[in-house]
Amino acid sequence: MSEPVAQGSLRRNLTVMLLLGAVGLALLVYFIVQSVAREIAQESQDNVLAASAISILDSARVVEGEITIDFPYASLSMLDTVTNERVFYAIRRDGRFLTGYEDLPLPTEPATAATQFASDTFLGEPIRIATARRGLSSDAGASTLEVSVAQTLSGMTQTLARISRISMFVGGGFFLLAALLAVLISRATIRPLDRLAASVARRGPKDLRPVAAPIPMEMVPLVRSLNNFMSRLQRSLSRSEEFIAEAAHRVRTPLAIVRTKAEITLRRVEKQENREAIRDMIRAIDESSRTAGQLLDHAMVTFRADHLLDEDVDLAALTQDTIESLRPVSELKEMEITAEIRGTPHLRGDAILLQNALRNVLDNAIKYTPAGSTLSVTLHETDDQAVVTVQDNGPGFPKDDIDGLRYRFARGGNAAGTIGSGLGLTIVEDVVTAHGGRLTLSNTEGSGACVTISLPS
């Protein structure tokens, strides 16, 4: 089977995309928090400056035609309450300087709002200036009083640094949270796929049932195709098994008739060479009918193994019965079968299959060992296993490919001249595996082949 070609990972792609989104959003949050907070900070500084300028403006009065400006102490001290700030102011009347700092920059834009704000530099320090105006009428006529108040930005700088730090924390925290969510989300999204893969991988080699567990909508087409595929495979498998069984069955009956006719004919034929030919014919017919039988057995085993019975099996009685049923065959070859049964092992399984398997082992042993040899069958129990051993004193298995004999239609290199289908050990293997047991083939030095069946009891 070729390995699937993996390219990329859904989970990784999903995580990376979500993380990229998180980075983008975190940056957005950082800049939004920063700009909003900056604006608010600037606004509050402007408000204080405006309050200061307006309080100076409000203190201006015309007394006996002269302007007096008795501005309150707080108008300047309020600018220094939180952080130490240098403060500058200028009071102008109709653009003419009255008092304060004459060089303080004038507002560059024409007045639109009641209070104007500007950022500038004065005495080498960056400052923020608020300028407010008010009409004033005296005996000399109407005039405009203009008050500019400026302060340095050390508090603002501190505030901005704090804002920067806070928005960094907010953005960073947002990113961490989003990253965590990204990992969790991608994992949760992929989980049904993992679950499906695991449930399919967990199945036995012959479990072709459709996937029934609930799955997300997006996976329905995939699972539908998978189920469809598996049911087609199932149908195709069972059809071929049925076909083999049917074919074997159909072949067996005519073969039996042909064999009977051949034997009748053999009795009538006198000529030696014709008798030989008919004997060859009978042997060939035997071989064909045996193959047909085993194909049937195999089909049965395959079917029953798929739907294994779970009944109590008395292995001792079963072994004894099987040996007895084969005695007529063994006696034909003048072979002796000894049985040594220790204990009364019981197990759960299908008695018919187990008997079939054991019969195949014994049948093989009888067939492949020379006439007059001895077969010894032992049955004993270990802690959790029942072990059946069939030992002969024949030529043993071919040394180079013992395990290859398990496969369908494989025959030993030393089996030529013996009637056989190559299905016997395959059947045994299937039955034993279906019961969760193990089939071991080995040669015992100097004393033939040994077949061991271990079954969990």
Q: Which residues form the interface with another protein (CB under 8 A)?
A: 68-77, 79-80, 84-88, 91, 98-102, 123-125, 151, 154
> What secondary structure letter does DSSP report for 203?
S
The type of residue at 356 is N
Contact (Cβ atoms closer than 8 angstroms) between residue 448 and residue 394: yes
> What secondary structure letter does DSSP report for 65?
T
How far are the Cα atoms of 18, 26, 201 from residue 187, in angstroms, in the given order? 12, 22, 20
**Of 79 and 347, CB closest to another protein:** 79
**Of 72 and 456, CB closest to another protein:** 72
Q: For the chain, give me the number of helices (H) and strands (E)? A: 8, 14
**Of 100 and 349, CB closest to another protein:** 100
Q: How many residues belong to the chain?
A: 457
**Of 71 and 368, CB closest to another protein:** 71
**Of 124 and 141, CB closest to another protein:** 124
Closest approach, Cβ 107 to another protein, in A, equals: 21
Q: How far is CA 261 from the centre of its chain?
A: 64
- Residue identified by tokens 């940056």 is 27
Tokens of 156: 């603002």
DSSP 3-state assignment of 401? coil
**Of 9 and 144, CB closest to another protein:** 144
Tokens of 51: 């309050």
**Of 154 and 378, CB closest to another protein:** 154
Contact (Cβ atoms closer than 8 angstroms) between residue 375 and residue 365: yes
DSSP 3-state assignment of 118? strand
- Residue identified by tokens 């064909």 is 288
**Of 61 and 191, CB closest to another protein:** 61
112 conformational bin, left if phi > 0, alpha if psi -120 to 50, beta if neither: alpha
Contact (Cβ atoms closer than 8 angstroms) between residue 379 and residue 314: no
Give the contacts of 206 (CB within 8 A, at least 6 positions apart): 305, 306
Pairing mode of beta strands 385-392, 346-349: unpaired
Closest approach, Cβ 16 to another protein, in A, equals: 48
**Of 86 and 275, CB closest to another protein:** 86
Helix ranges (H only) for 269-393 are 272-306, 315-332, 351-368
